[in-house]
Amino acid sequence: MGNERWSRRQFVSRAGKTAGGVVLGLSFADFLAACGTSTSGTSGSGKLEIFSWWTGPGEKDGLAELTGAGRSTTDYWVRYSLSAMIFAGVFDRYPLLKVGSVEHEAAWIPHWLKQMDFTYVERPVFTKGWKSAEGLMPSDYWKRNMFVEFMEDDLGVQLRDRIGVENMLWGSDYPHAEATFPRSQQFLGRMFAGVPEADLRKITSDNAAKMFGFTLFFLALAAFFFFVYGRLKPPQLEAARPT
């Protein structure tokens, strides 16, 4: 990347589609600084690489190249990239930074967290000298700095206490072809059967509202008016306006 300076949009596009990964450098540091508050903590000595969900190092870019084996293991590069950010000390330097896995489901997370903690404690040679500046375990950074969005993962819902209810967001992926819409309520009823109402609300609405700064009341109000007026025909809409 050299000393190129990219906008946030340019960086995300390039990072999401590169075949060789993105190595931590000036441009990436600038991007992270724009997303989170920097502290005086030092970064790790390991190389930071981020890959897209379908493209690993040396692989061709594009959904057309995705195989059944690749589609069923898409979370591999997500785990790799999130782990790389932790072991490179990114969250020591930018403690307010939030990074998430979107559309890769969630049931893989408990084992991944256990493996990171095991590596940090029992196999420190692989961390290349990195130690948490705050005395945290790798899984603690997940709890503080990361989240997961999923669509159809009933096993992930069952493992919510291991994943962290506060770290989980559900999404319908509307209007894409694989979206749960227009049967989202059926999907939710099946996945969240027996789940306490408090957990259901957090995962399906409250967590997202908190993260993105939404006010649920005003969001629901806007959705209501959009739904009502969106279904009115032009004459009806005109007649509904005050004279």
pLDDT band at 181 (very low <50, low <70, confident <90, very high): confident
Structural tokens at position 127? 């961390």
pLDDT, position 143: 97
pLDDT, position 34: 60
SS (H, E, C) the chain: CCCCCCCHHHHHHHHHHCCCCCCCCHHHHHHHHHHCCCCCCCCCCCCCCCCCCCCCCCCCCCHHHCCHHHHCCCHHHHHHHHHHHHHCCHHHHCCCCCEEEECCCCCCHHHHHHHHHHHHHHCHHHHCCCCCCCCCCHHHHHHHHEEEEECCCHHHHHCHHHHCHHHEEECCCCCCCCCCCCCHHHHHHHHCCCCCHHHHHHHHHHHHHHHHCCCHHHHHHHHHHHHHHHHCCHHHHHHHCCC
pLDDT band at 35 (very low <50, low <70, confident <90, very high): low
Segment among 23-27, 78-82, 134-138, 140-144 with least mean pLDDT: 23-27
pLDDT band at 68 (very low <50, low <70, confident <90, very high): confident
| Distance linking the first and last C-alpha atoms of the chain | 60
Residues in the chain: 243
Nearest to 88 by CA among 121, 129, 122, 134: 129
Question: For residue 2, which amino acid is it?
Answer: G
* Cα–Cα distance, 189 to 153 (Å, whole number): 12
User: Which region holds residue 103: left if phi is over 0, alpha if psi is between -120 and 50, else beta?
Assistant: left
HSE at residue 73, side-chain half, CA atoms within 13 A, is 9
HSE at residue 97, side-chain half, CA atoms within 13 A, is 24
- Name which residue leads in pLDDT, 101 or 227: 101
* Cα–Cα distance, 171 to 152 (Å, whole number): 9
Task: Please report, for residues 9, 141, 142, 187, the alpha-carbon distance to residue 146 in angstroms, rounded to integers and kept in the order given.
Answer: 20, 7, 5, 25
Please state the separation of Cα 238 from the chain's center in Å: 42
pLDDT tops 70 at residue 58:
no
Mean pLDDT across the chain? 76
Cβ atoms of residues 97 and 38 within 8 Å: no
Report yes or no on whether pTM surpasses 0.95. Answer: no
Beta-bridge mates of residue 146: 99
Q: What is the pLDDT of residues 83-125, one digit of tens each?
A: 999 998 989 988 988 999 998 999 999 999 999 999 999 999 9
pLDDT tops 60 at residue 228:
yes
- Name which residue leads in pLDDT, 165 or 60: 165
